[in-house]
Amino acid sequence: MLRLLLIALLSLVLAACAPSETPRVGDYRSVGELRVATRHDAISYRLDEDGRASGFEHDLLLALGDTLGVPVRFVPYPDAARALDAVINGQVHMAAAGLGRNDRLPLSWSQSLREVEYVIVGRSDGRAVNAEKDLAGRTVSVRRGTLAADKVSEIRKRLPGVNVHFPTRSAEEKLLSDLAEGRLDLVATDRLHFVFAARIHPELEIVHELPGRSGIAWALPQAGGALATDIAAFLTEITASGRLARIADRYFGHVRRLDEADVATFLSRIRERLPRYRPFFHEAEALTGLDWRYIAAVAYQESHWDPHATSFTGVRGMMMLTADTADHLGVENRLDARQSILGGARYLDMLREQLPDDLPEPDRTWMATAAYNLGMGHMKGARTIARGLGKDDRSWWDMKSVLPLLSRPQYAQRLKAGPARGGEAVVMTENVRSFHDILLRLEAPYEPALALPRLRLGQTD
């Protein structure tokens, strides 16, 4: 009897000392927040130098939180597999981490946010892969728990000579960077991550297309419940309203504009020309508050960082200013790189300030960029035409379809300034977006040792 009592007491002590299981999260309405498992990724959820979060799924989830009336709490995990485990174990309400829908897992899924194709990426100077059999003897690196990993594993069943490498805690951008630098043989990923990587590593190329397509979706508990119903209604509404397309355009709409030659030339200019003018771009940020990499992107689009550039229309210099604009800005010599950069930056800042206060970012910046090409008069006229067509004149997504109309007589006659090559302004702006994104990834932000006073339009230094 005494022995049984001792065993019972010992059992109670051990139970008390044992670690308790993580409590399951309650309904988002009673908890007062929506807890979302995610992972750091260049596309879905990313942090900038100041710790501000952004990304395609990040922005969608903030909109979802507004609709549900609760704040969104992002809980980063080291990889997609652990984010999914957090949903299965009830630690979060859902997972959003660039997840390909996988119906073999004990989860339910939202409707697709975007389609995705999977590819195997190599180097352009590597051994050719003309067919699946050429993967024998090669090593394919891929993130564990992804659909790309499933597809490569299927190949290995058919072709045992394929080696599969699962790096720990490596996001796609790190795998593709290691591949570009020769530290990996091949990488399996999705096409969009390849496109982002190829913009700074033009030596990368798709060597093999993996079969089938999938949809990026949000993972929910298997029971679904009220949250699944709410999410379905939310996604149906933003798809019908075009908001989903606008958010996608914000992050992906410009990424395929540059071809391999464009990227290679830009990267060589970053190495060879940018160091000479970087101090002037830094000074321009100090004077205007605009990110120096954005100003540099505009300058590259205008002149390829050639201070003596001249067009047939008479615009000249690094920022391709007209004579009238240069006079207004106090630029005495348009061919002086520093004067041109500071003048062009002031002009960009002036254009941004002329746009309505309620125009959101980054749409405000892209419309100012287009106005740099068109002039603010044409931009205001285009916004009026957009409203007449039932389009959102505060959205760059909508304005991209309106600006090309400015060259057509039936629309040009409504403009006080006459017709304009609005299509050129769209191309210019989309290229600037691409150049800016590349510079954000390769160039450090400006950190002034001593803050300079911000000059107003018309002041000279």
Domain boundaries, the chain: 24-110+218-252, 114-215, 260-442
**Residues whose CB falls within 8 Å of the CB of residue 350, separated by 6 or more in sequence, listed in order:** 457
β-bridge pairing 114-123 and 186-190: antiparallel
Q: Pick from 313, 314, 325, 320: which is nearest to 351 by CA?
A: 325
The per-residue pLDDT for 37 is 95
CATH of 260-442, one of 1.10.530.10, 1.10.3720.10, 3.30.1330.60, 3.20.20.480: 1.10.530.10
Comparing 250 with 14, the larger pLDDT belongs to 250
Confidence of residue 62 (pLDDT cuts 50, 70, 90): very high
Comparing 142 with 7, the larger pLDDT belongs to 142
Confidence of residue 214 (pLDDT cuts 50, 70, 90): confident
The pLDDT mean for the chain works out to 87
Comparing 411 with 336, the larger pLDDT belongs to 336
Give mean pLDDT, residues 86-115. 92
Task: Decide if pLDDT at 459 tops 60.
Answer: no
* Residue type at 174 in one-letter notation: K
Are 185 and 120 in contact by the 8 Å Cβ rule? The answer is no
pLDDT in tens, 268-300: 999 999 999 999 999 999 999 999 999 999 999
Give mean pLDDT, residues 400-408. 89
The per-residue pLDDT for 454 is 47
Element (H, E) at 220: strand 219-221
Element (H, E) at 94: strand 94-95
Same fold for the domain at 24-110+218-252 and the one at 114-215?
yes
Give mean pLDDT, residues 114-139. 92
Task: Decide if pLDDT at 17 tops 50.
Answer: no
Tokens 């699962």: give the residue. 166
Give mean pLDDT, residues 212-230. 90
Task: Decide if pLDDT at 25 tops 90.
Answer: no
CA distance linking residue 337 with residue 352, whole number of Å: 23
Task: Decide if pLDDT at 305 tops 50.
Answer: yes
Task: Decide if pLDDT at 458 tops 70.
Answer: no
CA distance linking residue 117 with residue 172, whole number of Å: 14
CB atoms within 10 A of CB 374: 26
Phi, psi of 247, deg, nearest 5: -65, -40
Stretch among 157-171, 268-282, 294-308, 393-407 having the lowest mean pLDDT: 157-171
Task: Decide if pLDDT at 395 tops 80.
Answer: yes
The per-residue pLDDT for 402 is 92
CATH of 114-215, one of 3.30.390.10, 3.30.1330.80, 3.40.190.10, 3.40.50.300: 3.40.190.10
Are 52 and 82 in contact by the 8 Å Cβ rule? The answer is no
Task: Decide if pLDDT at 453 tops 80.
Answer: no
For the chain, percent of residues with pLDDT exceeding 70: 91
Task: Decide if pLDDT at 365 tops 70.
Answer: yes
The per-residue pLDDT for 22 is 58
**41 - beta bridge partners?**
45
Confidence of residue 334 (pLDDT cuts 50, 70, 90): very high
Confidence of residue 18 (pLDDT cuts 50, 70, 90): very low
The per-residue pLDDT for 418 is 77
**Residues whose CB falls within 8 Å of the CB of residue 59, separated by 6 or more in sequence, listed in order:** 247, 250
Q: Pick from 406, 382, 404: which is nearest to 395 by CA?
A: 382
Of 57, 302, 361, 443, the active-site residue reads 302
Does CATH place domain 24-110+218-252 in 3.60.21.10?
no
Order of strands across the sheet that contains 219-221: 72-76, 34-38, 94-95, 219-221, 107-109
CB atoms within 10 A of CB 419: 15
Catalytic, 302? Answer yes
